[in-house]
């Protein structure tokens, strides 16, 4: 009996985990613009400690043991023929790609700043981009972080921890930051930021220059539509949450009014049997939380059920964001619950238990050792 073919369009965090879960049950083809998992997580660690970030969040596909059975293809996605059940793309050399599927998982994620873009890149280009952002901020005597979400808050805290002599200021439009999280979390993180000397400036809404999307570190004064005088620093990091779904390659009929992929509670695209979406690109709920919360496990299970005539399960979204907010710190890893309470893994347990056993073996089913930055 011929094994079914599953094409996974996008090998970011959710796509890689779905591929790992399906690798023993189908012929899986993963299509990625990068030659590796280049995670969009932990921006603060990425900017302030790129070697540490690369160790855990930039992982070549051949290091994942369970991807040995997955055919990974580096290409830019250009379209999908839903009638012919074929995904179309283009390689870096211009050669075209056409991959037929029995089931398709759309997991192309979103663009958000210079750290999350769907462009074709080599490993050398990924490394150069990583270093350039770090070096720009390391050379700055003062830094403004604009934004009130997790990326902005994590960046301010991690940079203040790594570079205590720098003047770092966090500006955001609301009365508090982290408004998708429980209020207890911002209260706790605000105390840590203050203890590190970070300036906290609520009620500041930035004016964006015409055509500017926040995809670069700038050095010009930041102006505010809320009436305050301009703010100046050597470097300005824009983490303003201008999330754009990577769906230009998809037919408009699959998308909602914001360009995200419409899905049923089973993560299936309505009206198209065998087509699913998961992760930040899927319009599951206002937080698009299937990027976390084991959405990869559900989509993999539902693809198997769809191909075998089984019963599909439904995704249940949490009402608040939760998880690690600022990444691994010198004193360990703090994980926040949806209730706003936190528990801490001490540094010894992160090094000896959490990363090697819970993450590399438990989540990824085995990761070979290496560091792309050498």
Q: Which two tokens stand for residue 244?
A: 């754009």
CA distance 181 to 148: 11
Do 76 and 28 touch, CB atoms closer than 8 A?
A: no
Q: What is the mean pLDDT of residues 259-270?
A: 97
CA distance 42 to 154: 7
pLDDT at 287 over 90: no
For the domain bounded by 5-121+244-359, which CATH number is listed?
Answer: 3.50.50.60
pLDDT at 214 over 80: no
CA distance 324 to 301: 26
For the stretch 26-38, pLDDT in tens is: 999 999 999 999 9
CA distance 48 to 68: 32
pLDDT at 230 over 70: yes
Band of the pLDDT at 371, cuts 50, 70, 90?
A: low
Residue 211 has what pLDDT?
77
Most confident of the ranges 156-170, 315-329, 354-368: 156-170
pLDDT at 361 over 80: yes
Q: What is the mean pLDDT of residues 44-65?
A: 96
Q: Where are the domain boundaries for CATH 3.50.50.60 in the chain?
A: 5-121+244-359, 123-238
Residue 374 has what pLDDT?
43
pLDDT at 187 over 90: yes
Do 121 and 31 touch, CB atoms closer than 8 A?
A: no
Band of the pLDDT at 2, cuts 50, 70, 90?
A: confident
Across 287-317, b (16+ Cβ under 10 Å) vs e yields: bbbbbbbebbebbbbbbbebbeeeebeebee
Query: What's the chain's length in residues?
Result: 374
pLDDT at 274 over 60: yes
For the stretch 312-336, pLDDT in tens is: 999 998 777 778 889 999 999 999 9
Do 318 and 293 touch, CB atoms closer than 8 A?
A: yes
Band of the pLDDT at 180, cuts 50, 70, 90?
A: confident
Select from 152, 12, 149, 148 the least CA-distant residue to 77: 12
For the stretch 137-155, pLDDT in tens is: 999 999 999 999 999 999 9
Answering whether pTM is above 0.75, one says: yes
Residue 210 has what pLDDT?
78
CA distance 360 to 354: 9
Count other C-beta atoms under 10 Å from residue 232's C-beta: 12
Q: Which long-range contacts (CB under 8 A, 24 or more apart) does 337-342 make?
A: 338/182, 339/182, 339/184, 340/181, 340/182, 340/183, 340/184, 340/185, 341/184, 342/185, 342/188
Helix (H, G, I), strand (E, B) or coil at 106: strand
For the stretch 232-258, pLDDT in tens is: 999 999 999 888 999 999 999 999 999
For the stretch 5-22, pLDDT in tens is: 999 999 999 999 999 999
Which residues, in sequence order, are bridge partners of residue 345?
A: 333
For the stretch 69-96, pLDDT in tens is: 999 999 999 999 999 999 999 999 999 9
Residue 1 has what pLDDT?
53
Select from 13, 39, 41, 317 the least CA-distant residue to 154: 41
The per-residue pLDDT of the chain, averaged, comes to 94
* CATH 3.50.50.60 describes domain 123-238: yes
Q: Which two tokens stand for residue 214?
A: 């926040």
DSSP 129-183: HHHHHHHHHHT-SEEEEE-SSHHHHHHHHHHHHH-TTSEEEEE-SSSSS-TTS-H
For the stretch 110-119, pLDDT in tens is: 998 889 999 9
Q: What is the mean pLDDT of residues 299-303?
A: 97
């Amino acid at each position: 009996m011929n094994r079914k073919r599953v094409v996974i369009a996008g090998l970011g965090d959710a796509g890689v985990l779905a591929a790992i879960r399906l690798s023993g049950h189908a012929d899986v083809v993963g299509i990625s613009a990068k030659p590796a998992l280049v995670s969009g997580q932990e921006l603060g660690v990425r900017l302030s400690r790129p070697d540490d970030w690369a160790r855990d969040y930039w992982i070549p596909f051949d290091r994942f043991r369970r991807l040995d059975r997955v055919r990974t293809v580096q290409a830019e996605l250009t379209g999908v023929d839903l009638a012919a059940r074929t995904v179309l793309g283009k390689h870096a050399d211009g050669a075209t790609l056409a991959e037929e599927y029995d089931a398709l998982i759309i997991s192309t994620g979103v663009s958000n700043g210079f750290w999350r873009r769907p462009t074709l890149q080599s490993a050398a280009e990924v490394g150069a981009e990583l270093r350039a952002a770090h070096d720009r901020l390391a050379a700055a005597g003062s830094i403004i972080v604009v934004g009130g979400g997790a990326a902005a808050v994590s960046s301010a805290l991690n940079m203040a921890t790594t570079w205590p002599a720098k003047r770092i200021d966090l500006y955001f439009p609301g009365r508090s930051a982290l408004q998708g999280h429980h209020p207890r979390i911002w209260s706790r993180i605000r105390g840590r930021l203050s203890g590190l000397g970070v300036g906290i400036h609520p009620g500041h809404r930035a004016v964006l220059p015409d055509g500017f999307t926040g995809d670069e570190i700038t050095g010009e004064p930041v102006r505010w539509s809320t009436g305050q005088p301009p703010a100046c620093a050597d470097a300005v990091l824009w983490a303003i949450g201008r999330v754009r779904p990577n769906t230009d390659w998809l037919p408009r009929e699959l998308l909602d009014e914001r360009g995200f992929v419409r899905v049923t509670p089973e993560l299936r695209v309505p009206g198209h049997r065998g087509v699913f979406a998961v992760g930040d690109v899927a319009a599951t709920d206002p937080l698009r939380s299937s990027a976390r919360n084991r959405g990869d496990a559900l989509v993999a299970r539902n693809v198997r059920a769809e191909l075998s005539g089984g019963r599909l399960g439904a995704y249940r979204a949490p009402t608040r964001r939760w998880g690690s907010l600022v990444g691994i710190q010198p004193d360990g890893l703090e994980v926040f619950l949806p209730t706003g309470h936190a528990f801490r893994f001490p540094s010894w347990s992160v090094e000896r238990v959490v990363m090697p056993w819970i993450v590399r073996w438990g989540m990824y089913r085995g990761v070979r050792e290496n560091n792309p930055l050498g």
